[in-house]
Structure 1
Amino acid sequence: MMQIIRHRVEKDRLLLETTNGRIMLAPYSNKIIRIRYTLETEFSTQESLMITGLPDSKISFTVEDLQSHLLFSTKELTIRILKKTGAFTYLDASGALLTKEPDRRGKMLVPMDVMKSVFDESANIEAGQGADGLRVRADNVTKVRDRKAFHTKLAFEWMEDEALYGLGSHEEGVMNLRGTHQYLYQQNMKAVVPVLASTRGYGIIVDSYSMMTFRDDAFGSYIWTEVDDEMDYYFILGPEMDSIVHGIRELTGKAPMLPKWSFGYIQSKERYASQEELVAVVREYRQRELPLDCIVLDWKSWTGELWGQKTLDPQRFPDPKAMVEELHGMNTRLMVSIWPIMNPQSDNNKEMNENGCLLGNQATYDAFQEKGRQLYWKQANEGLFAHGIDAWWCDCTEPFEADWSGAVKLEPEQRMLINTEEAKLYLDPEFINAYSLQHSRGIYEGQRRTTESKRVVNLTRSAYAGQHRYGTVTWSGDIAANWETLRKQIPAGLNFCATGSPYWTVDIGAFFVQNKPELWFWNGDYHSGIQDMGYRELYARWFQYGSFLPMFRSHGTDTPREVWQFGEPGEPVYDAIVICLRLRYELMPYIYSVSAHVHHYDYTLMRALSFDFRHDPNTYNIGDQFMFGPAFLVNPVTEPMYYNAGSELLEGVKKTRDVYLPTGTAWYDFWTNRIFEGGQTIEAEAPLDRIPLYVKAGSIVPRGGSIQFAEERPNNNIHICIYSGQNSSFVYYEDEGDNYNYERGVFALIPMVWDEHNRTFIIKEREGSYPGMRVNQSFNLTFLGVNDGGGSLKEAEKTTQIHYTGNYIEIKLEDL
């Protein structure tokens, strides 16, 4: 049992001496407190890989010494420390309970030996082909004791009425984490971020990089880490979810602006095999007038079997620079897949080896070495970036997996053990979760050193806290095509974004489409691919969902993915896909403005309902609806309505889905403008060509015209839709689209306000400017909904057009 023996108040921290170690509490702000616990005589001096924020030296705190406990308080947050056991209780400024540790004991450190691998002449290295690429493994590796460290355990008594979100993106599709458990290690279809956010108004960041366990079940409620020098975590007061995310990014870094084009449609498949094929696909998009912003060159772009070589095969890609120039001439960007593992016969591998930058398998580069990261960027720059490519697809950023084989998927505990043990062969056990974080860091820092004219875009399969500051978008891995997977992807993405990492996506249509019984993961339901009407329906619904993700990207194997592969104009599936494709581009002014809010104000684009409706408990467990920015309630269809697999026609199936409309606001059906009161579940129309979509009353939504790529600037007007019902505001954002001048204030803001009481729309003076800005702009205004005087909205619409020169404008609805 831990007992507080004495305490000492220093300028920037409180130190606790206990019968079992030392605890430090240090305020980083009035809402953020860092807590450390060690059994050593001194706290660790190891530099954090995830935390970049520093404590605010101006923050003051008080410590009250009472009979049974200590009170450590900032202006907004109090921690009550029980002297008898050292248990913490977390309170807000009013004294309201946020959460608490068990009175018996909240923190535990258990000594353990850290083992490291010795790769001597007895080690046997073998190369083989795994399901997702080259794998090089070492056998007969000697293990020796390296140092002492600790298992850590941080326990809580979570409240009955709270929901917990976060921990990253996981294939099980759990929304509210209460009553569940999760193993936290990096794996295909598992992107870990050790962050929790609670509807009671607080968040927790655990500064650890080892394998972890989260539990809230019969075994207890706690976070356990396998290998750490000490316990180190941060407690963040919101109370709103956006405020929690703001605190997370105060600590882990801001999310940089992604280029405007990256919010457009990205076409990918496994794989475009030649320069000719790649360019021809883009030409087809342009000829059909289907919007497109990027095409992806997937694996095996290198020569022969030289896996991971960061140069293009000269036989299939004879003139990379000319290829990129032709793509750019069609206003399309190129994303190229690169890998951390390199065939030992490749030039890239040999150069890494000569510089001592390979891990023990002699094939995967050491991203934890600065020298290794810089050499990796040098190779990527010389072999690819110098030709003008625009974005990276850093695949396989969890480079050590060991169970993607066989007909039977192993039990979760087996999977955890076999995969973490494989990673610990080559990586320090204390850092096996941080490979993707460091790999992403090298790409970002390398590109920023090389040029400021292109924003970094890096699509990764793994993630960690702080990785977002390196321009990354994480996707959910190599998932399979079936309706169950589609349903589970929605809460996976919402939990990922709840950790403060704002950019997440999926393979639209899923990676594996067919079923191969000899491989457990190749378990799609559609052997005939696009010839199966069941798959076409599933793809259309997945595409609708994907059009409201931060990155909008189709990808997969087994069957083609281009829009015209699903039919021709006039055919139901083709038309359904094109409707959402065009809608994505029509909403580009809204999406890009919200993305600026993500950077400047730590906003979240893809939002669990509790972000905006934390005081409506009915939202806590909803995992198949979400907010897309402040305006849109998105409700993907996750059940077949027309066909089963094998083109089996379904009969008597309703073309609707239940939608819960959160309380506290009215809602507009986006397609019909019909108005519904919140706080009810409705049966929403959901024919194949329509995703149920609602707009919150009190929304201002800028929309563009018909464009073919994100940065296209047609002469037609920006369309501003004002959904009345309550006061609202929106800041319309513009900049140059793809450089880092915005960091120096080179952008323009147009604040817009709807005053519900006075029925007045205000466009304020423009703030700022950028090269190429249109000084004069026309806005088409559409006002939706009219207050009937009794507090209710009735359906109505008024339109007008105004000319905006950057000066204040006020439009009264009664004057129209």
Structure 2
Amino acid sequence: MSQVNVTGAAYLADDASMMLPTSVGLLQVSFHSCGLRLRIAGRSNADYEMLLQEPEKLPCSLIHSEHSTTIISDNYELSVQHTPFSFALNCNGKSVQKTPNDGHFVRQYRMPPLAKTSQGWLFSLDLGAEEAVYGLGEKWSSLNKRGQFIRSYNHDALGVNAEVSYKNTPFAWSPSGWGVFVHTPAPVTHAVGYAPWSQRAYGLLIEDDALDIFIFKGKNGAEMIHQYTELTGKAPVPPVWSLGVILSKAYYKDVPELMATAKAVREHNMPCDVITLDGRAWQDTDTRFAFEWDPKRFANHPPSKVIAELKAMDFKVCIWEYPLVSVQNPLFEKMANKGWLLKDKRSGEAYRYQWDMSAFAEVLTPLPESGIVDFTHPDAFAFWLESHKPLFDLGIDMIKADFGEQVEDDNMLAHNGDSGHRLHNVYSLLYNRCVYQAADKYCQTGAFLFSRSAWIGSQRYPSQWGGDPQADWGGLIGSIRGALSWGMSGAPYFATDVGGFYKDTRDSELFVRWSQTAIFSAHIRLHGIGQREPWSYSPEAENAVNQALKLRYQLIPYIQTTMQQASETGLPVMRAMALAFPDDRLARGFEIQFMFGDNMLVVPCTQVGGEVEFYLPQGQWLRFPEQQVFSGGRVHKLTLTLDEIAVFVPAGHSVPIGPDVLHTEQLEQPTIGQQISHYWPTKMQSRND
């Protein structure tokens, strides 16, 4: 490990960039409206467009002495000590961040302030005694990452029960008023007050040869999310039909089962907009993926006819894909010969990815040896994009872009020269970008994407779902936390697998509570191994879930307004209490409840029996829809019947309510103003709780 020292006099490269010679290369320091940027160049020139554009620099000046350098820009002042490198960043005379004052018995710092290691860069930030830290992508445990050891590295996580997850981003922030964003495609390890490293410091290990770090200054999480998404992009407002219910399972075994399910949805008056052909429901497992309809499954059912029949029942149609091509399909050789698949570094031939068979069971069929599409090759990107056109021309409305976590570190090489290690995370972004651009170019009903894996900037290609939770109460809780953590990381839209994906026990109460929670998310999808239609559980579940789904459709005007706000600010639709109430220290401790937009506080029921315990911030709150008055600034308990929800609106605020419909085709004018039937509450009722 090489600890960084300043080795020469600082100089201005222009009036807005200061260059500081160090023992490991030139350190470029610049200031921006959001804060400070520190950079040391690396070998790779690959540009993955994680940033929308280079942020505008602010003019700066410097004061240099033998032992330190001070850079001044606008209201910022950065003090750099030379040996070893350490820093203190102030704004308007107040500390924003600094090198941790975490001493060691025999050396000045327990952790190097900045060092070059065999794995990459080590950089450390200071943590106050009770300082909370949020963000870092889709994570299933405590929203406050203090004390956790997290690696920003995309995994096919096979659940929501561990640290590994599908969607990561090296962006974190603290309610104390600072944030950090590592601009890299490579893995980043975060030791956030992690005691084996240091309980007083936030250590970052950046597994790249380049160093590019932003330190944000903001008054709260909302401001820093806005700054991060100004750099990396904001989500567009999705089409209104995507806000309706998406129905899916793994998988409909044949066309008759698919059509019988669609007809049953309408017969049961279940609100629903989209039905999904997942995996084997339209692709042959042995030869996928090649944009082909399984000739055996559709021999007597032409895809055009199937889609037309679904459209006649007012369904939108979603189909599944992944960015791998079976070696058993002629497309593999075609793409391999053109250099459109990732290559094996050892042989120079197309890499043949082999699946871990332990992840598959009776329902999830083992997958074939496959090549991986190389989205860094411009022609491969264009080919994959254009290959979607026949699907959209056929009437497909939505792509479920699955997987994207399969790039291996050591043995893969991309067209742009990057290894699998550097490509692994950002591959998700390239995949999301390609499929979303195809939908934007060719989909007749509006661009929308459902993806599982994501990296910096993937929020520009919405939406994402949390993959494969266990079908139990812990799976529900982990899914809620994953949604809120992803929202605190600059991605405003999320959906869960309602009911859980695996180990289903046909638990009616769990399914009801999961459905009731999910109507207060950006998107809602019923999905798992086995049926997820409400009537398949019990008559009581069907009644309670249909009641919740009808409310979902009535809330569409409110959701659209919230999504417009998300598109402008980066704020998520589901907002953790620490994000929604930054000045309320007590609110931070309630990590399962959340704000849905500006005006609805949602308390999910996450245990058998219907009991909920929750905290309402200061002020008066009306329970929705009953209009009971609850006092804020305290903890409450309720016991809910199966069809009851615990949702609260601040007194004096209203919620627009749309018409009672079964799908969005029944909305005559799909605009916010036209959809509103009335506002809630229509009158005030008071009752002590």
* TM-score, normalised relative to structure 1: 0.73
Q: Could you report, residue by residue, the CA deviation over 1:45-98 in whole angstroms, capped at 9, with x for unpaired residues?
A: 5435411232226x43444558975443444544333344332223333x2323
- 1:265 alignment partner in structure 2: 245
- 1:55 alignment partner in structure 2: 55
Query: Which is worse superposed, 581-590 or 311-320?
Result: 311-320
Distance in 2 between the 1:543 and 1:348 partners? 40
- 2:405 alignment partner in structure 1: 398
Q: Could you report, residue by residue, the CA deviation over 1:109-161 in whole angstroms, capped at 9, with x for unpaired residues?
A: 4354xxxxxxxxxxxxxxxxxxxxxxxxxxxxxxxxxxxxx611121121123
Distance in 1 between the 2:601 and 2:550 partners? 18
Distance change in 2, residues 1:379/1:92 (3 Å): same
- 1:81 alignment partner in structure 2: 80
Q: How far did 1:377 drift?
A: 2.1
Superposition map of 1:269-668 within 5 A: 269-300=249-280, 301-303=282-284, 305-317=286-298, 318-359=301-342, 360=344, 361-362=351-352, 363-382=371-390, 384-400=391-407, 427-450=419-442, 453-469=444-460, 471-514=461-504, 526=505, 530=506, 535-557=507-529, 559-568=530-539, 572-641=540-609, 655-663=610-618, 665-668=619-622
- 1:807 alignment partner in structure 2: none
- 2:38 alignment partner in structure 1: 35
User: What letter is aligned with 1:355?
Assistant: K
Distance in 2 between the 1:511 and 1:778 partners? 36
Considering fraction of residues, name the structure with more strand. Answer: 1
Distance in 1 between the 2:679 and 2:139 partners? 43
Distance change in 2, residues 1:505/1:96 (3 Å): same
- 2:365 alignment partner in structure 1: none
Higher relative contact order structure (alpha carbons within 8 Å, sequence separation ≥ 6): 2
Q: How far did 1:780 drift?
A: 5.8
Q: Could you report, residue by residue, the CA deviation over 1:633-685 in whole angstroms, capped at 9, with x for unpaired residues?
A: 111111112xxxxxxxxxxxxx421101123x322111321222221111123
User: What letter is aligned with 2:400?
Assistant: W
Q: How far did 1:325 drift?
A: 2.6
Q: Could you report, residue by residue, the CA deviation over 1:157-198 in whole angstroms, capped at 9, with x for unpaired residues?
A: 211232111111134x22210011112221123121111121
Distance in 1 between the 2:151 and 2:77 partners? 31
Superposition map of 1:651-690 within 5 A: 655-663=610-618, 665-690=619-644
Structure 1 unaligned blocks of 5 or more: 113-149, 401-418, 515-525, 642-654, 716-733, 736-747, 751-772, 787-793, 797-816
Contact 1:53-1:250 within 8 A present in 2 as well: no
Distance change in 2, residues 1:613/1:389 (3 Å): same
Count the aligned residue pairs: 633
Distance in 2 between the 1:184 and 1:195 partners? 9
Q: How far did 1:23 drift?
A: 1.6
1:18 to 16, 22, 26: 22
Distance in 2 between the 1:541 and 1:247 partners? 35
CA RMSD for the aligned pairs?
A: 2.8
- 1:204 alignment partner in structure 2: 180
Q: Secondary structure at the match of 2:627?
A: coil
Contact 2:127-2:202 within 8 A present in 1 as well: no
Distance change in 2, residues 1:51/1:781 (3 Å): closer
Distance change in 2, residues 1:545/1:90 (3 Å): farther
- 1:713 alignment partner in structure 2: 667
User: What letter is aligned with 2:95?
Assistant: L
- 2:100 alignment partner in structure 1: 102
Distance change in 2, residues 1:713/1:477 (3 Å): closer
Distance in 2 between the 1:7 and 1:397 partners? 43
User: What letter is aligned with 1:542?
Assistant: W
Q: Could you report, residue by residue, the CA deviation over 1:271-322 in whole angstroms, capped at 9, with x for unpaired residues?
A: 1133333233222222222211101110122246213232112443332223
Contact 2:388-2:438 within 8 A present in 1 as well: no
User: What letter is aligned with 2:97?
Assistant: T
Q: Could you report, residue by residue, the CA deviation over 1:687-717 in whole angstroms, capped at 9, with x for unpaired residues?
A: 22122111123423111121111353269xx
User: What letter is aligned with 2:524?
Assistant: F
Q: How far did 1:224 drift?
A: 3.7
Is 1:231 the counterpart of 2:211? The answer is yes
Distance in 2 between the 1:486 and 1:225 partners? 32
Q: How far did 1:603 drift?
A: 2.7
Distance in 1 between the 2:115 and 2:665 partners? 54
Superposition map of 1:213-252 within 5 A: 213-215=189-191, 216-218=193-195, 219-220=197-198, 221-225=201-205, 227-252=207-232
Contact 2:135-2:485 within 8 A present in 1 as well: yes
Structure 2 unaligned blocks of 5 or more: 102-108, 158-164, 345-350, 353-370
- 2:162 alignment partner in structure 1: none
Q: Secondary structure at the match of 1:217?
A: coil
Query: Which is worse superposed, 539-548 or 291-300?
Result: 539-548
Distance in 1 between the 2:683 and 2:456 partners? 41
Distance change in 2, residues 1:490/1:64 (3 Å): farther
Contact 1:48-1:207 within 8 A present in 2 as well: no
